[in-house]
Amino acid sequence: MLNDPRSHGLWEKTAPQPPVTAPLQGAVEADVVIVGGGYTGISSGLHLAEAGTKVVLLEAKEIGFGGAGRNVGLINAGMWVMPDDLPGVLGEVYGERLLDMLGNAPRLVMELIDKHGIACELEKNGTLHCAVGAEGLKEIEDRAEQWGRRGAPVTLLDAAETARRIGSDAYAGALLDMRAGTLQPLAYARGLAHAAVKAGVSLHTASPVTATERKGAKWVVKTARGSVTADWIIVATDAYSTGPWEQVRTEQVHLPYFNLATTPLSDNLRKSILPGREGVWDTKEILSSFRMDQAGRLVFGSVGALRNTGISVHKNWAKRSLRKLFPQIGEVEFECEWYGKIGMTDNALPRFHKFAENVVGFSGYNGRGIAPGTVFGRTLAQHILGQMSESELPLPLTDPREPGFRAIKEMWYEAGAQVAHFADARF
């Protein structure tokens, strides 16, 4: 994307084409203007347009340019924070409300894919959160118990069953979550965009917002070549925010994350490595994730940026790790490599912001963007349509605030991941 093969890698190579778009030209009017063409922005536009609302969506670069087109493609339920901890962080009402909404969010993703016939390699076979050692096993046992009390379809697997499902005896156990699954993330974003355009959304790419102005009861959102006058603005720019809502980016610490895709594995290897095609991630502090794409490529990722010395360090580490995880795989060749940035908030939870009158947005997905972004997009549409009041939202209203030592933390994450992967013999 934008002539950079390391921005979207395999996903751009295998995704269907996006809808034909062009930069905004001239002055137009709408009920709602949405800024950002990722999951949140497109989902909110789709749901608003289906309700008869006139929507203009402005994307600074291309559909799915940010995290929506770069992530590994796990449709996870919930967040990183333990379920029982959310009421302590957000209060009882918001904590349980958020757990309920995000626990069911993968279902909305799958329903939209089915409803709109989105070709995005959807797999509904769940995900496996794999325990590394005794400490990791305790973590997934706690998660299983806490989700189980809430009626979630999660199952704690022993080491033998985990090895059977993954094709490796590296883990002490795993938590199988049948709410979850995998998909091709850029294909999903582009498919949602096609559905939104069909529903009536006017979608413009290469249209970064340069300024906003309040004129009476309306907002005027300006780009280099045009403007949109609307009643509402949805800010859906998240970790890649620039311009008028750069504070959304600066309240998050960027954590780099890379993915590498092998060439398609042989039929024999596919029978022994993830035969059920679940998505996987582990409990290590510098975690790893992996899954299989539809053509049999093994997609393997971890914390780090594929630039400068990080390119060789992380690729060599990945080759060593895959050989240790799957001795049967032999020598590994990577067909594609790419990386992006995960926006991490200081409490690892998303945020709801009201930037001004009728200017709202969710952000801060902490590496869990597919399902939360989709369901929060629908939630913003419901709020604007008067179907959900501010007090009924899944998160309390907060003001953007920059975490301390943000720039230093970001440098440390990138450098620290290189040091760890250079030295790590894994397991």
Whether residue 158 is contained in a domain is answered as: no
Whether residue 324 is contained in a domain is answered as: yes
Pairs from 383-392 (Cβ < 8 Å, separation ≥ 24) = 384/32, 384/48, 384/53, 384/232, 384/234, 384/360, 385/48, 385/51, 385/53, 390/354
Q: Alpha-carbon distance 269 to 372, whole Å?
A: 33
Whether residue 143 is contained in a domain is answered as: no
Q: Tell me which amino acid residue 92 is.
A: E
Whether residue 75 is contained in a domain is answered as: yes
Whether residue 137 is contained in a domain is answered as: no
Whether residue 173 is contained in a domain is answered as: no
Domain containing 13: what range? 5-126+179-407
Beta-bridged to residue 128, according to DSSP, are: 176, 280
Number of domains in the chain: 1
**pLDDT by residue for the chain (427 residues), tens digit each?**
888 999 999 999 999 999 999 999 999 999 999 999 999 999 999 999 999 999 999 999 999 999 999 999 999 999 989 999 999 999 999 999 999 999 999 999 999 999 999 999 999 999 999 999 999 999 999 999 999 999 999 999 999 999 999 999 999 999 999 999 999 999 999 999 999 999 999 999 999 999 999 999 999 999 999 999 999 999 999 999 999 999 999 999 999 999 999 999 999 999 999 999 999 999 999 999 999 999 999 999 999 999 999 999 999 999 999 999 999 999 999 999 999 999 999 999 999 999 999 999 999 999 999 999 999 999 999 999 999 999 999 999 999 999 999 999 999 999 999 999 998 744 4
Whether residue 95 is contained in a domain is answered as: yes
Claim: this prediction has a pTM higher than 0.85 = yes
User: What is the bridge-based pairing of β-strands 202-204 and 55-58?
Assistant: parallel
Whether residue 283 is contained in a domain is answered as: yes
- Residue 338, domain CATH: 3.50.50.60
